């Protein structure tokens, strides 16, 4: 019984060994090689046509699809689907890089333009730093009293006549417009033109104010001379002429400085 059992086991083991034997088929190997990594070699397609193409196995195998050996079907071949997919992926990647570069260029251009137009960076403009900031320094940071240089009588007259308030109001208006020009989003050329226009108005205002202070003393002197003359009832002809000349000088001076004294 034991011997019989051993016999059956040996027979089963031999059958199992034969079932696991590796099969080497050159046709299958050639197909695997050319489909994966080797060149598409039509000479390795078997069976061969034989003498004068009379091999029946060749016609039985390739008769229904004779173009198969001539058509490169490798996925990684020169025109294979995987090669085309890789080329398309590379082209798409290059396109994405080009779009990214273009968008970065647009972003940098937009940032550079916004930095030029933005009022937040107007203080960094070279012309503002080199010229206009210095010219507008007394307007932006007023320090001296506008009445400095005038006598006590002149100061009282300028304040009582309203000229002093007029000057302060004009200064505040120019300062406010300058601040708006500096902080508003504008093209650089428009901003510089506004600076130049405001600078002209500011310089004209300063010269007008200096002229008013200078003429205030003359007006007070002439007024003091004019009062006794008017108080006298017996005015001579020459006194009346002097008074008329004084009045005319005061009127012309007032017209020159753009206001009434």
Is residue 104 domain-resident?
Answer: no
> Could you tell me the two tokens for 48?
């061969």
Is residue 222 domain-resident?
Answer: yes
Q: Give dist(CA 154, CA 215) in Å, integer.
A: 9
Tens-digit pLDDT profile for residues 42-101: 777 777 777 877 888 878 877 777 787 777 777 777 787 888 888 999 999 999 888 888
Is residue 46 domain-resident?
Answer: no
Is residue 151 domain-resident?
Answer: yes
Domain count, the chain: 1
Tens-digit pLDDT profile for residues 168-225: 999 999 999 999 988 888 888 888 999 999 999 999 999 998 888 888 777 777 766 6
Is residue 261 domain-resident?
Answer: no
Is residue 82 domain-resident?
Answer: no
Q: How confident is the model at residue 246 (pLDDT cuts 50, 70, 90)?
A: low
Is residue 227 domain-resident?
Answer: yes
To the question of pTM greater than 0.85 for the whole model, the response is no
What is the dihedral sign for C-alpha 111, 116, 118, 123? positive
Is residue 170 domain-resident?
Answer: yes
Res. 15: pLDDT tops 50: no
Q: Determine the pLDDT at residue 260.
A: 43
> Could you tell me the two tokens for 195?
């600076």
Q: How many CB atoms lie within 10 A of CB 219?
A: 20
Domain that holds residue 236: 145-256
Q: Look at 225 and 140; give whichever has higher pLDDT.
A: 140
Q: Give dist(CA 166, CA 158) in Å, integer.
A: 10
The residue whose two tokens read 């405001």 is 198
The chain-wide mean pLDDT, for the chain, equals: 77
> Could you tell me the two tokens for 152?
């006590």
């Amino acid at each position: 019984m034991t011997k019989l059992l051993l016999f059956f086991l040996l027979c089963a083991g031999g059958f199992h060994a034969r079932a696991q034997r590796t099969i080497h088929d050159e046709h299958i190997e050639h197909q695997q090689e050319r489909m994966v990594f080797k060149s598409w070699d039509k000479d390795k397609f078997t069976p061969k046509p034989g003498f004068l193409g009379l091999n029946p196995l060749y016609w039985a195998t390739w008769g229904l699809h004779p173009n198969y050996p001539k058509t490169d079907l490798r996925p990684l071949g020169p025109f294979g689907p995987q090669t085309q997919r890789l080329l398309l992926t590379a082209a798409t990647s290059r396109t994405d890089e080009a779009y990214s570069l273009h968008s970065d260029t647009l972003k940098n251009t937009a940032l550079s333009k916004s930095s030029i137009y933005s009022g937040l960076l107007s203080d960094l403009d070279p012309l503002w730093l080199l010229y206009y900031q210095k010219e507008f320094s007394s307007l932006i940071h007023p320090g001296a009293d506008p009445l400095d240089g005038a006598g006590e009588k002149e100061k009282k007259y300028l304040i009582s006549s309203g000229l002093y308030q007029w000057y302060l109001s004009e200064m505040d208006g120019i300062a406010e417009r300058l601040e708006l020009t500096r902080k508003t989003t504008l093209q650089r050329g428009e901003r510089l033109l506004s600076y130049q226009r405001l600078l002209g108005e500011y310089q004209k205002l300063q010269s007008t104010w200096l002229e008013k202070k200078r003429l205030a003393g003359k007006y007070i002197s002439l007024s003091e001379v004019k009062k006794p003359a008017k108080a006298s009832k017996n005015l001579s002809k020459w006194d009346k002429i002097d008074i008329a000349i004084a009045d005319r000088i005061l009127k012309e001076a007032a017209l020159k400085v753009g206001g009434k004294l």
